[in-house]
Amino acid sequence: MTIEFDNNLPIYLQIMNYIKLQIVTGKLGPGEKIPSVRDLAAELKINPNTIQRTFQELEREGVAESRRGLGRFVTSEDEKIMAIKKEMAAELLERFIGGMRELGFDNDNIVKIVAESVEEVRSEEGGSSRGTTA
Give me the residues that bind other proteins (CB under 8 A), please: 5, 7-12, 41-42, 45-50, 53
Q: Is 115 helix (H, G, I), strand (E, B) or coil?
A: helix
Shorter beta-carbon distance to other proteins: residue 30 or 48: 48
The nearest distance, CB 62 to other proteins, in angstroms, is 22
CB of 45 to other proteins, least distance (A): 6
Contact assessment for residue 105 and residue 113, using Cβ atoms and an 8 Å cutoff: yes
Least CB distance to other proteins at residue 52 (A)? 10
Nearer Cβ to other proteins (49/109): 49
According to DSSP, the residues that pair with 71 across neighbouring strands are 67
* Comparison of 57 and 77: residue with beta carbon closer to other proteins: 57
The neighbour count for residue 40, using CB atoms within 10 Å, is 20
- The answer to whether residues 19 and 58 touch, using CB atoms and an 8 Å cutoff, is yes
Tell me the closest approach of the beta carbon of residue 14 to other proteins, in angstroms.
10
Q: Please, which residues bridge with residue 33 across strands? A: 73
